[in-house]
Amino acid sequence: MAAKASITPIVSKIFCSSSQVILVVRKRPRVVNGGGFVVTDCSQKIVFKVDGCGTLGTKGELILRDGDGEALLLIHRKGGIVQALSIYRQWKGYTFDCEGEQKLVFSLKEPNSCLVRNNSIRVAIEPRWCNKDWDFEIKGSFPDRTCSILDSRGNIVAQVGVKEVDELMVSKDLYHVVVQPSFDQAFVFGVIAILDNIYNESTQC
* Higher-pLDDT residue of 132, 39: 39
The answer to whether 95 and 106 are in contact (CB under 8 A) is no
* Higher-pLDDT residue of 31, 97: 97
With a cut of 90, say whether residue 104 has pLDDT above it: yes
Domain of 160? 24-198
pLDDT band at 84 (very low <50, low <70, confident <90, very high): very low
Give, for 191, the enclosing helix (H) or strand (E).
helix 185-198
Lowest mean pLDDT among 33-42, 107-116, 188-197: 107-116
Number of residues written out for the chain = 205
The answer to whether the predicted template modeling score (pTM) of the entire model surpasses 0.75 is: yes
Can you give the CATH number for the domain in which 113 is found?
2.40.160.200
In a domain, 14, yes or no: no
In a domain, 135, yes or no: yes
pLDDT tens sequence across 149-204: 999 999 999 999 986 555 444 566 789 999 999 999 999 999 999 999 888 888 87
Number of structural domains in the chain: 1
